[in-house]
Amino acid sequence: MDPLIMIGAVTVAGVLIGGGVHFIPVGGAPAAIATATGVGTGTAMLAAGGGMTGLITAAAMTGSPLWLILAAGAAGSALMLAVTMLVGNWVYVWGVGCVPVSAKVDTDPLTKLPQDKYVTPGTEGHGIPTVCFVSGVIGGLLGGIGGGLAYWAIYESLVTLPAYIPLIAGKASLAAAMLAGIFALGLFFINAVIASYNIGGTIEGFHDPKFKRLPRGVLACLIASLVTGLIGVLLLMGGVF
């Protein structure tokens, strides 16, 4: 594959990952004690869960057409985040005993259910209400597509090189898959953390006022991913040993 296409794919992938993180309801430490809406952990943990699952499902499709790899990555990441949010909600509802409710909007933009009446005074909502759940799944889909795209671009570039020739069953190269996987994972973490710096740690989803910072986060991820892609070209150039 042409190195320029690889750089372009990695840049687009980084933008998709960084943009996707803005959709995910990251609640951080306040959500861990049910005093804020969202999943009670930081972006890095959600990126680890969603990103790795997406990369594993994308890598399982190695050798398939591009759209299948992207779909597999998107399904894996979105599914992992959906399960995380669902099980988190079980803990909030039946463990903590609070209603999933958002404090950022008066009525849920999707279900039109009233929110403000159910927010415990002194808190910023609890659990993962419908709008946050849908937003999180969209974020997982975007992130998974990004991860799959980066994996596909690097794998397809590496697998043509003589150094990565030993193929499993004449189809896939383990070394190329691992190298592409770890590179895509690194890209995932870099962009997830930059996006999380942009949102200041916590966000509820696309209905959150902080979501307006998306263009700045996308620009930041674009620059960082472009440089990452440029460095990644060395993998292809040096792969001829």
How many angstroms separate the CA atoms of 98 and 229, rounded? 45
Rounded to a whole number of angstroms, the minimum distance from the CB of residue 150 to other proteins is 11
DSSP code of 104?
S
Is the Cβ of residue 44 or residue 68 nearer to other proteins in the bound state? 44
Give strand pairing partners of 126: 101
Is the Cβ of residue 138 or residue 214 nearer to other proteins in the bound state? 214
Is the Cβ of residue 140 or residue 229 nearer to other proteins in the bound state? 229
Under the rule (CB under 8 A), what is the footprint of other proteins?
Answer: 27-30, 42-45, 47-48, 163, 174-175, 178-179, 181-183, 185-190, 193-194, 196-198, 200-202, 216-217, 219-220, 223-224, 227-228, 231-232, 234-241
Contact 120, 158 (CB under 8 A): no
Contact 98, 126 (CB under 8 A): yes
Rounded to a whole number of angstroms, the minimum distance from the CB of residue 4 to other proteins is 17
Rounded to a whole number of angstroms, the minimum distance from the CB of residue 81 to other proteins is 17
Is the Cβ of residue 85 or residue 185 nearer to other proteins in the bound state? 185
Question: Pick from 125, 87, 92, 133: which is nearest to 109 by CA?
Answer: 133
Contact 207, 125 (CB under 8 A): no
CA angle, corner 14, sides to 12 and 17, nearest 5? 110
Rounded to a whole number of angstroms, the minimum distance from the CB of residue 55 to other proteins is 10
